[in-house]
Chain A
Amino acid sequence: MQQHELRVLRPEEYFIEVEPYYEPVADEIGIFEAAYANGLPILLKGPTGCGKTRFMEYMAWRLKRPLITVSCHDDLTSSDLVGRFLVKGGETVWVDGPLARAVRAGGICYLDEVVEARKDTTVVIHPLADDRRVLPIEKLGELLEAPDGFCLAMSYNPGYQSVLKDLKQSTRQRFVALEFDYPGAALEQTIVERESGIDPGLARQLVKFAHMTRNLKGQGLDEGASTRLLVHAAKLIHAGIAPVAACRSAIAQALTDDPDMLAAVNELSASLF
């Protein structure tokens, strides 16, 4: 495994230097690049753990732009995105929020799980997300016009069933949408192998197991096992954990709390290894 040490970076200096491992599923790279070249914002749709964030890292590396990620939550205010005045030694200083930083640096601003943010917050991105490409900062009395390098992207999981969390039409219709889903069996096997280093036979069994859990979606499971969970399990196996135990901890327990369902999922993994 690659060794990592602590590094402290300013968000706008976070360039991805090593090529992240990414397997294209369809024409998403081409579409992203064309949208980027034309200054269009991008919306990534798809279930959890299918590679949306990895795709963003890969594109940031490919386009050589810093990647500023904001994980959205329901207390996120517009000052959290744009910036605010703070007091320092009796003086006031203005501190840019991540969105303003991304605009100034010409980086990629990625709003992860954007439906979690309050609806009044998502509105501040509107002027940035159409052909104006500007970010007004009222308190400073400034208007930032985004340089060509800037790109706005956000992700969204349409599988959520809460009616209170949905993306407004006025927001979603500003974006070029890319749909993601779990990759096909052969590709998924390659991904699991590459990410974890386990041998092809085990990777194939893991993917088979993932398909079994996806068979159960709607029959008691809200979601089947994602590619990310498969990689987790594969890494545990690579580290010497027995496959059944790895599937139990990394996949089954992550999928459900229902005891009957847990038992059934564990039996499925035990039947394969």
Chain B
Amino acid sequence: MDVYLDPALSSRRTAAGPAAALAGFPAREQGFVLHWGAVIAKDNAELAYQFTAFAPQGLRLMDLPAMESWLLYAMDLYDKKGQVPAIRAFQDVVGFAANMQERLAGIVLTDIAGVLERFVCGLNGRALKIAAGERCHTDTETLFLPAVVGRLAQKEANFRLYKAMAVHQWAQGWYGTWRGGVLLDTFARAAPSPAALDLFHALETMRLDACLARDFPGLHRDMQALRLALDGGPLGDPVLGDPAQADAVWTDLARRLGDPAARVGDTLDRWAGLPGRPAPPCCYRGELVPEAVLARMELRAAQDRDRFRIALARLIEDQDRRPPGEEQPEAQTLPETAVRLGARAQDDPDGPEGLSYELFLDGKPVAPPADMVSTLESIIQDLGEIPPEYLVAAGPGLYKRNAGGAAKDADSAWAGTYHEEGAFAYDEWDHSRGHHRKGWCILREIEVKPAGLAFYHGTLRKYGGLIKSIRRTFEVLRGEDRILKRQPYGEDVDIDALVEAYADGRVGLEASDRLFTHRRQEERNIAVMFMVDMSGSTQGWINQAEREALILLAEALGHLGDRFAIYGFSGWTRKRCEVYPIKRFDDPYDDLARGRICAIEARDYTRMGAPIRHLSKLLRGQDARVKLLVTLSDGKPDDYDPGYRGDYGIEDTRQALFEARLDGIHPFCITIDEQGPAYLPHMYGAANYTVVADVARLPAKVSEIYRRLTS
């Protein structure tokens, strides 16, 4: 011990104390401490001293595997944060031993967030985010859960606890805890004390649990088991519950709130009758945070209302064949349309509150388009109804406000560039007129200055393993040997062909000489164009994921031998559509091209029609058996110019893709927009798109999709 501790010892500090303390332990434990002490000393003698000094105490509290994780934890801190935190970790051996159980069986949220997100999305189709939070609560769009859960001894049980927390928060949205603002209004009139809020939450939990028990018996069983294990049983349950708590009040409450007709208002009534009682414990309840919900719901309500009104204006436009309210360009709403619109509730067991709504225009039912349906569902889930004041079409003023609000007049700013050289003019499809606007869009190819390769090398490092595996799968694709039958020459005899030829010869027909099988690599002969969304909305994460995805794919495509080109696109009104050549078909994939991938950045808007027409023209010039146009995008076609937004843009894009298809080009879209399924089938066709909901998985996914697409 003296040997390895030497640099850390002094006249005031000797190894005698630790050595004496250690002497009381069996040889195996002593050997363990000496061995690891020597190992740590190679890094840092002071830490080795601290370890040796506190090891005897640790040995009294923990077994050897736990000791090992203790010292590795401390050394990990040393690597990451330096000596001082590591010393503290060694000194806090008691605290570590106490948390040991939690550490061994605990689950980290990041490991299971993916599973939970899919699970919650599967419950009713509305995608909710999951994030770690200090407080376990929901703002109705994100479920905040603790970063680590380790209250139970087994990992599976801790996962069930996570699941119960997530479901409880999901249930608040689906079974209407916040619906219609009933609760928020009550809290706004008299803010409840934390204890009172907690009591209310406990009562509401009884109501929600009863709803879950009706719809998801398996889930309910799990949650009851958790309460039995952690809280001494659910209240008001004479069988499972703690008899001391199962008094008549709770039993009665459980019965009333468990009624299928009970709503959040009933919970409020019961709550008013129970002042001053402490809230019983519940392991998955978390907290209610009305402020967070209020902020989120106000935001969403305004958005949903505007979207809904704009959608109504479109419905009227479809019917009248002209946009409503043209004569009042500043109007936010058009009150005169209210009499023409109506909504009627109808039973729908799959909807929230068991309802869905049918819309009427001029007394006739109208089918809302897919993007309006999701807005409608969101409104019903939040408010429980379509409020009458929502049933009024948006005026041109609202359109304009939603279109962004920058005061520049784009048309005049760019008027001078109309006839400039190097510009391409493309037609645009006007769906309301049913024909093309000739030469309507002016498109330019803008050179991209290559950036440094730091991002490229970073990506290679980050995804080293993945690149290898993508290459391998692509190599399998390329090396897919096909056995060609009935060849004039080859490695092996084709018995089927031989028998047939013999038989043919016997009946007097000409016997074929194609009697061999030949193994040959099939020529792929594919040309693919990647069209990358560089609109402003891709700023940040999405842009980074796009660049990573392109690098991964480009690295592997070289192995496959498919010809490929990469173009970015963005635009600002019809007079400034831009594409950015990152790699043309003829360019080699070299450092210049890599640098340009690194230089992809977010720019303006997403006017898609003209870029598609331009890129399919380039693709048409390629001599390949299969031509693919793959779009990487984050949302709908959109432009500064409000006329392009919505149906016009979608119809123009659809038309451009249709024209491309006539030229034998297969369009395909990879999007991260979760709303994608609402409009992509219309633009690209039912099977020609994929939604990658999780941006972080985009890089890995794109290669996988490409492989599936071309095999």
Contacts and interface: CB of A to CB of B under 8 A. Distances in A.
A220 interface: yes
B441 to A, nearest CB: 27
A244 B125 contact: no
A260 B500 contact: no
A50 interface: no
A267 B503 contact: no
A263 interface: yes
Given A86-B503, A91-B506, A158 B118 contact: no
A55 to B, nearest CB: 21
Contact of B626 (A163, A212, A264, A270): A163
A261 interface: yes
A162 interface: yes
B677 A87 contact: no
A85 B504 contact: yes
B222 interface: yes
A14 interface: no
Contacts of A158: 686-687
B710 interface: yes
B683 to A, nearest CB: 15
B118 A87 contact: no
Contacts of A162: 708-711
Contacts of A84: 500, 503
B115 interface: yes
B216 A263 contact: no
Interface string A13-55: 0000000000000000000000000000000000000000000
B687 A215 contact: no
B709 A215 contact: no
A185 B348 CA distance: 12
B691 interface: yes
A163 B506 contact: no
A254 B119 CA distance: 17
B122 A265 contact: yes
Name the residue among A75, A160, A163, A268 with the largest chain B CB count within 10 angstroms. Answer: A163
B459 interface: no
Interface string A217-230: 01110000000000
Contact of B218 (A160, A218, A244, A265): A244
Name the residue among A93, A139, A213 with the largest chain B CB count within 10 angstroms. Answer: A139
Contact of A215 (B121, B167, B218): B121
B114 interface: yes
B515 to A, nearest CB: 14
A2 B691 CA distance: 44
B499 interface: yes
Name the residue among B114, B116, B628, B691 with the largest chain A CB count within 10 angstroms. Answer: B114
B503 A215 contact: no
A265 B500 CA distance: 51
Nearest to A219: B693
A206 B709 CA distance: 32
A261 B114 CA distance: 8
Contact of B123 (A77, A218, A268, A270): A268
B710 A163 contact: yes
A3 interface: no
A170 interface: no
Given A215-B121, A218-B677, A264-B119, A92 B218 contact: no
Contact of B115 (A91, A260, A269): A260
B143 to A, nearest CB: 14
Interface string A84-113: 111100011100000000000000000000
Interface residues of A, number: 40
A215 B507 contact: no
B122 A264 contact: yes
A268 B666 CA distance: 36
A187 interface: no
Nearest to A259: B115
- The secondary-structure label for the interface of chain B is helix
Contact of A260 (B114, B163, B628, B687): B114
A87 B499 contact: yes
A160 B710 CA distance: 11
B126 to A, nearest CB: 9
A87 B119 contact: no
Given A161-B709, A264-B119, A220 B500 contact: no
Nearest to A91: B506
B690 interface: yes
Contacts of B485: 75, 77
Contacts of A218: 676-677, 690-691
B329 interface: no
B506 A267 contact: no
Given A162-B711, A163-B710, A216 B118 contact: yes
Contacts of A271: 123, 167, 216, 218-219, 222
Given A264-B122, A270-B219, A85 B503 contact: yes
A159 interface: yes
Contacts of A91: 506
B506 A161 contact: no
A272 interface: yes
B507 A272 contact: no
A216 B676 CA distance: 13
A245 to B, nearest CB: 12
B118 A219 contact: yes
A216 B112 CA distance: 17
A163 B628 contact: yes
Contact of B118 (A85, A160, A261): A261
A126 B686 CA distance: 27
A79 interface: yes
Interface in B465-516: 485, 499-500, 502-504, 506-507, 509
Nearest to B508: A92
B275 interface: no
Given A75-B485, A215-B125, A244-B218, A263 B115 contact: yes
Contacts of B503: 84-87, 92-93
29 contacts: A85-B506, A86-B499, A87-B503, A92-B507, A158-B686, A158-B687, A160-B687, A161-B709, A163-B666, A163-B709, A163-B710, A215-B121, A215-B122, A218-B690, A219-B691, A220-B118, A244-B218, A260-B114, A260-B115, A261-B118, A263-B112, A264-B115, A265-B118, A265-B122, A267-B119, A268-B123, A271-B167, A272-B217, A272-B219
Interface of B: 112, 114-119, 121-125, 127, 163, 167, 216-219, 222, 350, 485, 499-500, 502-504, 506-507, 509, 626, 628, 666, 668, 674, 676-677, 686-688, 690-691, 693, 708-711
Given A85-B509, A263-B115, A271-B219, 6 more contacts: A85-B506, A162-B708, A185-B350, A264-B114, A264-B115, A272-B219
Q: Which 8 A-B pairs have the closest CB atoms?
A: A85-B503, A264-B118, A271-B219, A92-B503, A215-B125, A212-B122, A163-B666, A260-B114
Interface of A: 75, 77, 79, 84-87, 91-93, 139, 158-164, 185, 211-213, 215-216, 218-220, 244, 260-261, 263-265, 267-273
